Amino acid sequence: MSDIELKVKEIQDSAIEALKSADGLEKLNEIRVAFLGKKGSLTQFLKSMKTVAPEDRPKVGKWVNDTRFAIEEKMEETKKKLDAEKMERQLASEEIDVTLPAKMKFIGHRHPNTIALEEVERIFVGMGYEVIEGPEIEYDDYNFTKLNIPANHPAKDEQDTFYITKDILLRTQTSPVQARVMEQGKLPIRMISPGRVFRSDEVDATHSPSFHQIEGLVVDKNITFADLKGTLDVFAKELFGPETKTKFRPHHFPFTEPSAEVDVSCFKCGGKGCRFCKGSGWIEILGCGMVHPHVLEMCGIDPDVYTGFAFGVGLERIALLKYEIDDMRLLYENDVRFLKQF
């Protein structure tokens, strides 16, 4: 082997040796410059061809070209290898573990109060009632005076509340909506009015300073106590089951005359008496009565032509009974683990 051939072979070998240790594209480029670049060893060698005898030039030219080709081929191969390794590393670092549990979407749940209210609304809307809401911040006049509870009436004391001014308060009952609707003078009236009410009560298992009521009002010609009894009997049977019986106990409310409290037969024991109904067989659910003629008059309705009945139900009371919840405070904590059970 001639000196020239040896020299070319040496360049090729050292290029291939260098490529073996190339660990990235940058290094690869350095090698390309060092061997094949303008000042690279193979190019430099080509320049020295001038010294080669003319008859040897084609042979030497072929060696140089073969060498360039061999180095380029090895470079291409190394580049492919490095690219593949890079991709491999990237895939490994960005690996997706398809066995991981998916992110759970937590969907809320309707509150037992809402479920109970929708049930009550369904029953009354089915009997042709409208649902009308009134303001939570109310005039003393609507909350008390127009409901036959004058300034010094003891009933006012039982319903102590939060006053905003001397004349404006947080309503203690949904009954003021009765006065508001009657005043509008559109007769006949058949409506229920659900909403939040307030009293300055301490929190315990059966009391809260803020709770909900559903008011009912019917005003028309020839409305009698029999209509009231029939309506509330249908309501109780729809809500607590067809076996349910109702009992009307005489009571007093300033805005109804006569007035009554209504008990339903215990839906747990069927009226025999159990822990749920405290042994009596009956559970109290609402207050009601015939709208007091004086209330009709104060709201611009002629009591000689029109009569009406009204009732007021505690929404929480219904929810607690229906779902057998023994502490009202649970209804206000909004713990999803509790809410999800209904």
Return the range that interacts with ligand DAH (CB under 6 A); candidates 31-39, 41-49, 86-94, 307-315. Answer: 307-315
> In whole angstroms, how close is the CB of 161 to ligand DAH at the nearest point?
11
Nearer to ligand DAH among residue 281 and residue 314 (C-beta): 314
Nearer to ligand DAH among residue 78 and residue 193 (C-beta): 193
**Residue 293 per-residue DSSP state:** H
> In whole angstroms, how close is the CB of 287 to ligand DAH at the nearest point?
3
Q: Other C-beta atoms within 10 Å of 339: how many? A: 18
Near ligand DAH in 158-187, by CB under 6 A: 173, 175
- Residue type at 269 in one-letter notation: C
Q: Is there binding between residue 253 and ligand DAH (CB under 6 A)? A: yes
> In whole angstroms, how close is the CB of 104 to ligand DAH at the nearest point?
42
Give Cβ neighbours of residue 152 (< 8 Å, ≥ 6 apart).
Answer: none
Q: Other C-beta atoms within 10 Å of 313: how many? A: 25
Return the range that interacts with ligand DAH (CB under 6 A); candidates 4-12, 31-39, 185-193, 284-292. Answer: 284-292
Residue nearest to ligand DAH (CB): 312
As a residue count, the chain comes to: 342
* 318-324 long-range contacts, CB within 8 A, separation 24+: 318/116, 318/120, 318/239, 318/285, 319/112, 319/113, 319/115, 319/116, 321/240, 321/267, 321/283, 321/285, 322/112, 322/116, 322/119, 322/239, 322/240, 323/112, 323/116, 324/268, 324/276
Q: Is there binding between residue 287 and ligand DAH (CB under 6 A)? A: yes
User: Among 138, 140, 215, 316, which residue interacts with ligand DAH (rule: CB under 6 A)?
Assistant: 215
Q: Is there binding between residue 311 and ligand DAH (CB under 6 A)? A: yes
As given in the structure block, the two tokens for residue 76 are 């291409």
* CA–CA gap between residue 281 and residue 242 (Å, rounded): 16
Q: What are the strands, taking DSSP E only, across 167-209?
A: 168-170, 189-198
> In whole angstroms, how close is the CB of 269 to ligand DAH at the nearest point?
27
> In whole angstroms, how close is the CB of 278 to ligand DAH at the nearest point?
21
Q: Is there binding between residue 211 and ligand DAH (CB under 6 A)? A: no
User: Among 149, 288, 328, 331, which residue interacts with ligand DAH (rule: CB under 6 A)?
Assistant: 288
Q: Is there binding between residue 240 and ligand DAH (CB under 6 A)? A: no
Torsion of CA 229, 233, 239, 243, to 10 degrees: 160
Nearer to ligand DAH among residue 218 and residue 239 (C-beta): 218
Q: Is there binding between residue 310 and ligand DAH (CB under 6 A)? A: yes
Nearer to ligand DAH among residue 63 and residue 253 (C-beta): 253
Q: Is there binding between residue 64 and ligand DAH (CB under 6 A)? A: no
**Cβ-count burial 33-70 (b if 16+ within 10 Å, e if not):** eebbeeebbbeebbeeeeeeeeeeeeebeebbeebbee
Chain positions contacting ligand DAH, by CB under 6 A = 173, 175, 215, 253, 256, 287-289, 310-312
